[in-house]
Amino acid sequence: MSAALSYIFFSYISPSRAKEIKTKLGTLLQKPDSAIDLIIPYPEKPEKPAKVQKPSPEEAWLWRNSLEKLLQNPYGLASFRTFLQSEFSEENIEFWIACEDYKKIKVPAKMAEKAKKIYEEFIQSEAPKEVNIDHFTKSVTMKNLVEPSVSTFDLAQKRIFMLMEKDSLPRFVRSNIYQELVK
C-alpha cells in the first residue's frame, strides 16, 4: 500500500483500529493463502463523534475577529479544523490541540512521554507534521524538553496561534464553511 494511500485510509479511523488493519493487511500481502483467516472484523458499535451544537449566526459572526473565541467553541474548532484539512494545512491546528491536551496532563512521566511525541510529530526537522516556527522558538522549545512542564510548548503554541490568526483565520472567514454558519 503506498504511503499516501495509507495516510488517507488510516486518517479516517482510530489509530488503534488503523494499526490492527495495517498489521492484518501486511500479513495478507505476505501470505495470500491464508486470506480466509484474516477477514477484518468491524467493531460492534461504530465510533460516534460527540454531538456539538451548531452556533447561532450571531455567535459565529464573532469568530471573524477572534481566533480565541473560535477555538473555545467546539463547533467552531471542528469547522476550522475541517477547513484546514480541506486545504491540506491542518498541522497548525493539530499542534495547537496537542498542546492544549498536553497542558492537562498531571503525571510527570506521562508529560515527558507526550512532550517527546509532540516534538517528534510537530517540532523536529522533517517531522511528519512539522509546523513552521522560527529557529529561536524551536531552540527554546528544545531546551524546555529537558525538564518538561505545563509551559514546555507555550512559546511555540503562541507563535502558531499568531500564524493561524494572521493567515488561516482570514481564509476561513472567506470560506463557504464559515459563510454557511453566518447565514
CATH number at residue 108: 1.10.167.10
Is the residue at 41 inside a domain? no
Would you report the helix, strand and coil content of the chain in percent, each value rounded to 5?
70, 0, 30
- Given a cut of 90, whether residue 159 has pLDDT beyond it is yes
Is the residue at 169 inside a domain? yes
Residues 6 or more apart from 148 whose CB is under 8 A from it? 108, 111, 112, 115
Contact 144, 97 (CB under 8 A): no
pLDDT in tens, 52-102: 789 999 999 999 999 999 999 999 999 999 999 999 989 999 999 999 999
Among the listed residues 113, 107, 115, the one whose alpha carbon sits nearest the alpha carbon of residue 157: 115
Give me the amino acid identity at 96: W
- Given a cut of 80, whether residue 28 has pLDDT beyond it is no
Q: Could you tell me the residue range of the domain that residue 86 belongs to?
A: 57-182
Contact 19, 145 (CB under 8 A): no
pTM: 0.70
Q: Is the torsion defined by CA of 79, 161, 50, 16 positive or negative?
A: positive
**What's the domain count of the chain?**
1
Determine the pLDDT at residue 24. 55
Is the residue at 16 inside a domain? no
- Given a cut of 60, whether residue 4 has pLDDT beyond it is no
Is the residue at 20 inside a domain? no
Among the listed residues 101, 99, 83, 107, the one whose alpha carbon sits nearest the alpha carbon of residue 169: 83
Is the residue at 142 inside a domain? yes
The DSSP code for 36 is G
Question: To the nearest whole number, what is the mean pLDDT of the chain?
Answer: 82
